[in-house]
Amino acid sequence: MGIQFTEDEERTFLTTMHTAIITTVRKDGWPISLPVWFVLVDGAIYTRTPARSKKVARVRTDDRACFLVEAGDAWKELHAVVWLGRLREVDDDALLERVRAQFATKYMASTTARAQLPDATREHYGNREVIFELRPDERRLTWDNRKLRMG
């Protein structure tokens, strides 16, 4: 139908969208989908989470993930990117620095200062985080219904 994103359109969409949904697999085999902030760096998606989160434990048990970003209200406006892949914990210091800088730039206006957070929230998030990288496997889907020629 010719409604897929071009590579440039996909890159622009992923760099301008704010929140994605990432699905991981629990120990009991059930999928769980959660909203995440993300950045696109060198063709990969990066997300971050507190080091003590259940997400970290899930990914260490089963690294399969589905990543979805979508926009549009009416059907003819819907556009989305879906990547299937495996999450990899990033441990390269130079890459971590670049990814953190991208997060700081992208989400500066949306982040609440730690001092303003309730004590329990500060404790939950702690000071340590894990950054995961996702590169799409062979399954990568995009569509943009705005490209349809509606009569």
- Torsion angles phi and psi, residue 13, rounded to 5: -60, -50
The mean pLDDT of 21-26, rounded to a whole number, is 95
For the stretch 68-119, pLDDT in tens is 999 999 999 999 999 999 999 999 999 999 999 999 999 887 766 667 777 7
* Top CATH class, 7-146: mainly beta
The mean pLDDT of 22-41, rounded to a whole number, is 95
Beta bridge partners, 65, equal 85
Taking residue 70's Cβ as centre, other Cβ atoms within 10 Å add up to 14
Model pTM above 0.85: yes
**How is residue 59 annotated by DSSP?**
H
The mean pLDDT of 60-66, rounded to a whole number, is 94
* pLDDT, the chain, mean: 89
Identify whether the C-beta of residue 112 lies closer than 8 Å to the C-beta of residue 90.
Answer: no
Beta bridge partners, 118, equal none
